């Protein structure tokens, strides 16, 4: 099919942040060649700058670093750094892109990133990567884990390039990589589609400087604060303030700086992430110094995402103070402190001294976005972001050009990752027939067979910046390890995971003829694949590698006991070396797969997922437990978009798509198999049947919560949000009746101990309903009784409109008393609520009361996780593989999720996640085979007593007794299909004949490891 197409099988991804990275990786795995165009000298984007991420407190650079290396090492991704897009001509499927590659003045093929040049460079300039908190040289790398890890010269800063003098770097460069003659170069590429993922700028508070940001050093932005917290930041992770490097004991966060503010900066929207990052920064700060006072000054706390509310509650428990007040006046105090004046809850004027003030700055469009948009010939919206539509949230105004991440609207990392995958789906779908036409496949150098070599182990001990080295005496560990048995080479490294270190590892393998490698650094969970890849690239079997976790499980958890931590590090490395000596070469084999998908649930998520997968060219089996398609979709009314029409069309498209088979009234009963080869038994109207599929997408949905409060079910004028939608959709005359009062109560049975999460959609939903009522009945009186109004992103504009049109928002808090609703004598609903500003009860006589109740997870969730072996969160939503970076994947390979099954979300986000799931699906189904084997159980037929212990012990029924292949007359033996073995090792631990070897975790290896860890071995003989 691929041969006759006129379309290009390549995609240009603009931007090398997490959005671009995810899009690029998905597209490359889907079978397309990717050009990643990055304006700066390295990819990584904002995530590389962040310290930790909410709500898991995962280290941001630790998370993204493996991804950077995946991109850097991906054979089908070409990174073009320091590159601008000049023009995009042509049309979808056949774009001609003109680029300008700006000069780096460094020959990338020669630079070894040794840093000699920067050492000798006399020109110090503000370090933008550290948000200007410190300085760097004019020749620089942005950060230690940068990809590509190559120096570059900023021409405007360089003395030689501006004045023709100096030339130090060129003189000292040992690799002769400096090239002052480097020139900008224009190149033209042919691509089929474009993904814009160029990210955002951080709001610059000096623009409207009521915050005195540009005047006082101890008023800083949150981004600067991230860098201060970061171990690789300007103060090596020591929490000190810029003015005097003193540890601040009292810090204030001021929310909504550059967001929700028309007066000072013309930023009407909410930046969506600031509440959470401020809470995170406050929590982390208190971890740095437990006696630190942290206060967050806010208008509404918008902790609307998965696990956000829990995080907020935990922060309060940890002593972070939250003050509902917008600060207008900052005054200086002695010693660089700052006085904040504000009105407290009781209406009293307060004045408080803080040692550091962090401005929670919002996201703004990149300053160069207008130029880029012009070059791409796409429109921007009134706020300067890329123009998209609610139901096509990743489509720009030009066909074939898609946009994802904060370039569209402010959003957090998981939403960005979802959009990035969705953009990959869209960009791939329009050139689906060109799949595989431009991709290359990786070749490794031939593997050196080390079977007969005695072990020669290389050990690399990582400083992880100061993460490890500040606690563990690295030198001592290195010296100790040099004397361990079979260790030929042992050295330390600043960041073992940096491209530079990986190269050194490869060189060491060659130079010292190493045949086993040990890295003592962080956790193998995140970093093992990267090091294994390095081994493969060095011609060594990738399994000849073992890690010692001396950071997450040593330096980080024994910070105050450096001596013992160092001892422990020695023991951990000793164990790793002992195991490494016994490691063996292992091989993976290819295995076929069923190129079909199973989608469970036919609501908006399932329908979109199914349609996109089918449009990418893969057959889909769509299960729906009821006899109607559409889920909640047909019940929704929106003022902003025609949801019902959209869903109706979607259903039609799905029903008409030849690759989609719909099974109504059908539920999955059991599922077996593994990525590429699943078998799911389903029960439909005609009984049980089995579907073979390579991947699974769970879109089991959720539904509106039915409350047991506020007279719901007792009084006909008490409605749920969807009931109100029905009145609005059918244009019910009651809406237009004169003298009507409509009330809404938000967070009904939500954000309370029984249902502690925020359902994300309800604030916007009620406001949209209110506005629609006003559109039709301008005289109507509308009250919205709420806690925090969570109209994140552009939804904030609806909130503003509602307020300006007279919708009365009355805030209540659960502790000081929820609203009370009784049926009045006049047929009205009497709602009493305590106004916290007036501090007295208010009586509202409403004709209709709408309860915003939030979303409950699917009642069948237990069965679903049982069938598909997933996991549920405490709230009953499916657990994704990783909250930040794998929001569409389930923990089991080949399983994905989308929609309300994951967490409550508005339709546009469900659409995005569903399309993202299609991209994820395509990364599997695009392949002709999957690789199997490796860390699995293998039977030694000679030792097998054919006792069936493994057959019975295996949790997934993998072992079978098979005939002897050499001679069927010989006794058979147990056999585990490598593609099926999940690698748990249960059989190995029970085999009475010890005939099963668990590769990479053999008895010998583990016993040697345990023994070495417990017993300090004598040094090897000299």
Partner 1 sequence: MIICERKPIDEIKSFIDGKKKVLLVGCRGCVTVCNAGGTKEVEILAALLRLDAQKDGKELTVDEFTLERQCDPEYVDELADLVSKGYDAILSMACSVGPQFLSRRYPKERVYPSLNTCFIGGALAHGVWAEHCQACGNCVIHIYGGLCPVSRCSKSIMNGPCGGSSNGVCEISKEVECVWHLIASKFMDEGRLAEFAPIQPIKDWSKSRDGGPRKIVREELVK
Partner 2 sequence: MSDFEPKIIAFCCQYCAYNAADTAGSMRLQYTPNVEIVLIPCSGRFDVILALKALESGADGVYVAGCLEGGCHFLDGNIRARKRVVYLQNELKKIGLEPERLAMVNVSASQGPQFAAYVDEFAGVVKGLGPSPIKKHLAA
Residue 141 has φ and ψ, to the nearest 5°, of -115, 150
Quick one: what does residue 816 bind among partner 1, partner 2, none, with the CB cut-off 5 to 8 Å set by partner type?
Answer: none
Side by side, the strands of the sheet bearing 349-354 are 329-332, 338-343, 349-354
What does the alpha-carbon distance between residue 972 and residue 947 come to, in Å, rounded to a whole number?
11
Strands 930-933 and 588-591: antiparallel
Characterize 142-176 residue by residue with b for buried, 16 or more Cβ atoms within 10 angstroms of its Cβ, and e for exposed: bbbbbbbbbbbbbbebbbbbeeeebebbbeebeee
Residue 50 vs 996, nearer CB to partner 1: 996
**In this chain, which stretch among 412-420, 547-555, 621-629, 939-947 interacts with partner 1, using CB under 8 A?**
939-947
- The CB-of-945 to partner 1 minimum distance in angstroms stands at 4
For 551, which DSSP code? I
**In this chain, which stretch among 131-139, 156-164, 806-814, 989-997 interacts with partner 1, using CB under 8 A?**
989-997
What does the alpha-carbon distance between residue 726 and residue 635 come to, in Å, rounded to a whole number?
7
What does the alpha-carbon distance between residue 850 and residue 748 come to, in Å, rounded to a whole number?
10
Number of helices and strands in the chain (H, E):
26, 54
Residue 674 vs 812, nearer CB to partner 2: 674
Residue 384 vs 983, nearer CB to partner 2: 983
Cβ-contact 679, 987 below 8 angstroms = no
**In this chain, which stretch among 477-485, 574-582, 856-864, 941-949 interacts with partner 1, using CB under 8 A?**
941-949
- The CB-of-982 to partner 1 minimum distance in angstroms stands at 18
Q: 933 exposed, middle or buried (CB, 10 Å; 0-12, 13-18, 19+)?
A: middle
What does the alpha-carbon distance between residue 396 and residue 417 come to, in Å, rounded to a whole number?
18
**Strands (E) located in 420-515:** 457-462, 487-493
Cβ-contact 330, 342 below 8 angstroms = no
Binder among 947, 956, 961, 962 for partner 1 (CB under 8 A) = 947
What does the alpha-carbon distance between residue 772 and residue 638 come to, in Å, rounded to a whole number?
9
- The CB-of-991 to partner 1 minimum distance in angstroms stands at 7
What does the alpha-carbon distance between residue 690 and residue 53 come to, in Å, rounded to a whole number?
42
- The CB-of-564 to partner 2 minimum distance in angstroms stands at 4
Query: Is residue 952 close enough to count as binding partner 1 by CB under 8 A?
Result: yes
**In this chain, which stretch among 134-142, 721-729, 927-935, 991-999 interacts with partner 1, using CB under 8 A?**
991-999
Quick one: what does residue 78 bind among partner 2, partner 1, none, with the CB cut-off 5 to 8 Å set by partner type?
Answer: none
Query: Is residue 992 close enough to count as binding partner 1 by CB under 8 A?
Result: yes
What does the alpha-carbon distance between residue 10 and residue 8 come to, in Å, rounded to a whole number?
5
Residue 286 vs 811, nearer CB to partner 2: 286
Query: Pseudo-torsion of CA 643, 647, 653, 659, nearest 10°?
Result: 130
Residue 465 vs 959, nearer CB to partner 1: 959
What does the alpha-carbon distance between residue 251 and residue 988 come to, in Å, rounded to a whole number?
55
Residue 178 vs 937, nearer CB to partner 1: 937
CA-derived radius of gyration, the chain? 30
Binder among 994, 1010, 1014, 1017 for partner 1 (CB under 8 A) = 994
Quick one: what does residue 417 bind among partner 2, partner 1, none, with the CB cut-off 5 to 8 Å set by partner type?
Answer: none
Quick one: what does residue 1009 bind among partner 2, partner 1, none, with the CB cut-off 5 to 8 Å set by partner type?
Answer: partner 2
Query: Is residue 478 close enough to count as binding partner 1 by CB under 8 A?
Result: no
Residues 357-416 within binding reach of partner 1 (CB under 8 A): none
Quick one: what does residue 947 bind among partner 2, partner 1, none, with the CB cut-off 5 to 8 Å set by partner type?
Answer: partner 1
Helix (H, G, I), strand (E, B) or coil at 47: helix
Quick one: what does residue 328 bind among partner 2, partner 1, none, with the CB cut-off 5 to 8 Å set by partner type?
Answer: none
Residues 597-626 within binding reach of partner 1 (CB under 8 A): none
Query: Is residue 984 close enough to count as binding partner 1 by CB under 8 A?
Result: no
- The CB-of-697 to partner 2 minimum distance in angstroms stands at 20
Residue 119 vs 989, nearer CB to partner 1: 989
Residue 809 vs 1001, nearer CB to partner 2: 1001
- The CB-of-959 to partner 1 minimum distance in angstroms stands at 12
Quick one: what does residue 366 bind among partner 2, partner 1, none, with the CB cut-off 5 to 8 Å set by partner type?
Answer: none
Residue 525 vs 943, nearer CB to partner 1: 943
For partner 2, the binding residues (CB under 8 A) are 52, 56-59, 62, 287, 523-525, 549, 551-554, 556-561, 564-565, 567-568, 571-572, 575, 869, 871, 891, 935, 953, 955-956, 982-986, 988-990, 998, 1001, 1003, 1006-1007, 1009-1011, 1013-1015
Q: Can you tell me which residue has the tokens 């049309």?
A: 91
How far out from the chain centre does Cα 565 lie? 32
Query: Is residue 891 close enough to count as binding partner 1 by CB under 8 A?
Result: no
Q: Could you tell me the end-to-end alpha-carbon distance of the chain, in angstroms, rounded to an integer?
A: 65
Quick one: what does residue 565 bind among partner 2, partner 1, none, with the CB cut-off 5 to 8 Å set by partner type?
Answer: partner 2
- The CB-of-560 to partner 2 minimum distance in angstroms stands at 7
Query: Is residue 993 close enough to count as binding partner 1 by CB under 8 A?
Result: yes
Residue 391 vs 464, nearer CB to partner 2: 464
- The CB-of-947 to partner 1 minimum distance in angstroms stands at 4
SS3 content of the chain, % helix, strand, coil (to 5): 30, 25, 45
Size of the site for partner 1 (CB under 8 A): 13
Binder among 86, 299, 946, 961 for partner 1 (CB under 8 A) = 946
Helix (H, G, I), strand (E, B) or coil at 57: coil
**What tokens appear for 434 in the block?**
């060109």
Query: Is residue 945 close enough to count as binding partner 1 by CB under 8 A?
Result: yes
Residue 302 vs 884, nearer CB to partner 2: 884
Q: Which of 919, 924, 885 is nearest to 402 (CA)?
A: 919
- The CB-of-949 to partner 1 minimum distance in angstroms stands at 6
**Strands (E) located in 762-867:** 781-786, 808-811, 820-823, 829-835, 840-846, 848-851, 855-857
Cβ-contact 44, 143 below 8 angstroms = yes
What does the alpha-carbon distance between residue 751 and residue 818 come to, in Å, rounded to a whole number?
12
What does the alpha-carbon distance between residue 823 and residue 846 come to, in Å, rounded to a whole number?
10
């Amino acid at each position: 099919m691929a041969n006759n197409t006129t379309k290009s099988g390549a995609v240009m991804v603009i931007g090398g942040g997490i959005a671009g990275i995810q899009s690029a990786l998905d597209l490359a795995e889907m079978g397309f060649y990717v050009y990643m165009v990055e304006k700066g000298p390295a990819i990584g984007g904002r995530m590389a700058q962040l310290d930790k991420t909410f709500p898991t407190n995962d280290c941001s650079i630790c998370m993204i670093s493996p991804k950077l290396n995946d991109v850097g090492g991906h054979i089908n991704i070409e990174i073009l750094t320091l590159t601008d897009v000049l023009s995009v001509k042509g049309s979808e499927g056949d774009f001609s892109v003109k680029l300008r590659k700006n000069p780096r003045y460094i020959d990338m093929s020669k630079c070894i990133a040794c840093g000699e040049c920067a050492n000798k460079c006399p020109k110090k300039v503000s370090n933008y990567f550290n948000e200007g908190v410190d300085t760097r040289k004019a020749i620089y790398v942005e950060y230690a884990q940068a990809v590509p890890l190559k120096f570059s010269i900023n021409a405007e800063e360089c003395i030689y390039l501006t004045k023709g003098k100096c030339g130090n770097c060129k003189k000292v460069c040992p690799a002769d990589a400096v090239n002052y003659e480097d020139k900008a170069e224009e190149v033209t590429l042919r691509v089929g589609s474009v993904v814009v993922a160029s990210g955002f700028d951080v709001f610059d508070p000096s623009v409207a400087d009521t915050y005195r940001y540009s005047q006082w050093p101890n008023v800083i932005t949150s981004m600067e604060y991230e860098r201060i917290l970061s171990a690789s930041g300007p103060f090596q992770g020591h929490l000190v303030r810029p003015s005097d490097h003193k540890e601040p004991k009292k810090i204030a966060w001021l929310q909504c700086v550059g967001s929700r503010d028309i007066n000072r900066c013309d930023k009407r929207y909410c930046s969506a992430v600031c509440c959470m990052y401020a809470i995170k920064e406050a929590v982390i700060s208190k971890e740095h110094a437990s006696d630190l006072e942290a206060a967050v000054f806010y208008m509404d706390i918008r902790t609307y995402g998965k696990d956000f509310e829990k995080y907020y509650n935990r922060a309060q428990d940890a002593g972070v103070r939250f003050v509902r007040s917008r600060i207008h006046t900052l005054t200086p105090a002695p010693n660089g402190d700052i006085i904040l004046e504000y009105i407290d809850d009781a209406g009293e004027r307060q004045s408080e001294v803080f040692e550091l003030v962090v401005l929670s700055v919002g996201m703004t469009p990149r300053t160069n976005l207008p130029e880029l948009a012009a070059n791409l010939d796409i429109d921007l919206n009134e706020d300067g972001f890329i123009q998209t539509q609610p139901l096509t949230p990743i489509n720009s105004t030009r066909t074939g050009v898609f946009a994802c991440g904060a370039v569209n609207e402010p959003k957090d990392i998981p939403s960005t990752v979802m959009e990035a995958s969705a953009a990959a789906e869209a960009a791939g779908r329009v050139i689906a027939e060109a799949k595989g036409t431009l991709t290359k496949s990786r070749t490794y150098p031939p593997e050196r067979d080390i079977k007969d070599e005695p072990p020669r182990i290389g050990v690399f001990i990582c400083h992880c910046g100061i993460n490890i080295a500040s606690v563990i005496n690295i030198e001592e560990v290195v010296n100790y390890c040099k004397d361990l048995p079979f260790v030929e080479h042992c050295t330390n490294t600043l960041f073992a995971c940096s491209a530079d270190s990986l190269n050194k590892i490869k060189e060491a393998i060659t130079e010292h003829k190493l045949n086993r490698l040990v890295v003592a650094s962080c956790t193998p969970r995140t970093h093992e694949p990267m090091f294994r890849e390095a081994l493969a690239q060095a011609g060594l079997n990738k399994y000849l590698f073992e890690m010692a976790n001396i950071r997450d499980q040593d330096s980080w958890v024994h910070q105050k006991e450096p001596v013992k931590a160092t001892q422990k590090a020695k023991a951990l490395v000793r164990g790793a070396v002992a195991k490494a000596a016994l490691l063996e070469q292992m091989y993976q084999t290819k295995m076929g797969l069923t190129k079909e998908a199973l989608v469970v649930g036919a609501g908006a998520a399932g329908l979109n997922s199914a349609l996109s997968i089918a449009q990418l060219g893969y057959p889909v089996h769509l299960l729906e437990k009821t006899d109607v398609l559409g889920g909640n979709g047909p019940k929704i009314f929106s003022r902003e978009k025609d949801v019902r029409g959209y869903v109706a069309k979607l259903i039609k498209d799905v029903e008409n798509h030849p690759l989609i088979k719909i099974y109504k009234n059908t539920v999955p009963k059991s599922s077996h198999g593994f990525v590429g080869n699943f078998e799911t038994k389903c029960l439909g109207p005609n009984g049980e049947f089995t579907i073979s599929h390579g991947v699974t997408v769970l879109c089991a949905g959720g539904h509106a919560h039915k409350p047991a409060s506020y007279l719901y079910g007792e009084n006909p004028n008490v409605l749920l949000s969807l009931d109100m939608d029905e009145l609005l959709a059918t244009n019910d005359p009651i809406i237009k009746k004169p003298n009507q009062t409509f009330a809404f109560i938000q967070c009904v049975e939500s954000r309370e101990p029984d249902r502690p999460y925020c359902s994300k959609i309800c604030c916007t939903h009620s406001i949209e309903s209110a506005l629609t009522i006003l559109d039709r009945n301008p005289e109507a009186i509308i009250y919205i009784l709420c806690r925090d109004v969570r109209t994140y992103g552009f939804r904030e504009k609806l909130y503003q409109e509602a307020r300006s049109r007279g919708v009365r928002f009355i805030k209540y808090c659960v502790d000081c008393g929820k609203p009370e609703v009784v049926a009045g004598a006049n047929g009205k609903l009497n709602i009493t609520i305590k106004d916290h500003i007036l501090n007295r009860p208010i009586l509202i006589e409403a004709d209709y009361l709408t309860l915003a109740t939030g979303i409950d997870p699917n009642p069948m969730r237990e069965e679903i996780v049982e069938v598909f072996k997933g996991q549920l969160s405490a709230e009953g939503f499916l657990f994704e593989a990783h909250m930040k970076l794998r929001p569409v994947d389930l923990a089991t390979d080949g399983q994905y999720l989308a929609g309300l099954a994951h967490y409550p979300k508005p339709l546009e986000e469900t659409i995005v996640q569903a399309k993202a799931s299609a991209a994820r699906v395509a990364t599997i189904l695009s392949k002709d085979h999957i690789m199997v084997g490796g860390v699995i159980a293998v039977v030694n037929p000679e030792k097998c007593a054919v006792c069936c212990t493994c057959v019975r012990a295996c949790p997934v029924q993998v072992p079978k007794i098979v005939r002897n292949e050499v001679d069927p007359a010989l006794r058979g033996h147990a056999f585990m299909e490598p593609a099926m073995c999940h690698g748990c090792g249960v059989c190995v631990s029970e085999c009475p004949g010890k005939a099963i070897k668990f590769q990479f975790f053999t008895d010998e290896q583990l016993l040697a490891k345990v023994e070495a860890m417990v017993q300090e071995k004598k040094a090897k003989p000299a």
